[in-house]
Amino acid sequence: MNRYLAQLFSIVLLLAQASHAQFACANETTDQIQHAVELYINERLENMADHQRIKNSNDIKVKIGRLDSRLRFTPCGDQNLLIEDHSGSILGGRYLLKATCPGEQSWSLYVPVHISIIKPVVVATRSIPRGTTLVPGMLEMTDWEISDLRRGYLDRLDLAIGKQLRRPLSAGRPISPDQLSTAQAILKGDEVLIEALTGLLSVKSTGIALSNGGIGEQINVRNSRSDKIIRARVVGPGKVRVSM
């Protein structure tokens, strides 16, 4: 009986040791995956910070999803573990990175990652109705998590000043590029001043605008003197310019 108990105890001890070794191996592998993902994210974010002019590394926060320690993997060398991101670019938000260990006993695992990126963006200081031409007092810069702004954002006030709102905007809300249109400096039927430049010579005449136009846009204008239709660039309210 004692001999039987001794054998049973030996078997239990061996199983416990094997289980402990397997658990230690699993922990080592999950730690390796975590480390590889951190390196990959940091490298990508360094490039992105340069591209997006993020001033402070504290404005970027990364949270890697916890891996289940009960998962069992074949150990994979640091140089063999591959991290892939199929999203194309990291702009903040939630991602799934794929960790792969190639080889005869290959395996793959998707690792959830959440990236928060804080940047100053243009927001409205008050509620602004549709069709309003934006002026400096209506706008300010506020820190915002840009991963929430799927329709884009503006990072400079001058990108919005002078533009018109396509839709109403609530106070404190960021402005997206698709909410803006060029303010109309000239309306169809307006009499306009035509300035024709040729070298150092400037010739001025008048004409009638045949379409609406904002500053920087080109419109058709009928010259009142010659009755010819010309293509001219809007340079200000009631004024167009042609380079000869």
pLDDT (tens digit, 9 = 90+) per residue, 60-108? 777 887 777 676 777 776 557 888 876 655 666 777 888 888 877 788 8
Contact (CB, 8 A) for 124 and 167: no
* Cα–Cα dist 188/165, whole Å: 20
Tell me where in the chain the CATH 3.90.1210.10 domain(s) lie. 119-181
* Cα–Cα dist 39/113, whole Å: 13
Q: Is the pTM of this model over 0.85?
A: no
Query: How many other C-beta atoms lie within 10 A of the C-beta of residue 40?
Result: 20
Q: Tell whether the torsion through CA atoms of 44, 48, 54 and 60 is positive or negative.
A: negative
Q: What is the pLDDT of residue 115?
A: 81
CATH topology of domain 184-243: SH3 type barrels. (2.30.30)
Q: What is the pLDDT of residue 131?
A: 87
Tokens 């063999």 correspond to: 80
pLDDT (tens digit, 9 = 90+) per residue, 121-149? 999 999 999 989 899 999 999 999 887 78
Considering the domain 119-181 in this protein, what is its CATH number? 3.90.1210.10
Tell me where in the chain the CATH 2.30.30.760 domain(s) lie. 184-243
DSSP symbols for 157-201: GGGTTTEEESS-B-TTPBPPGGGEEE-EEE-TT-EEEEEEEETTE
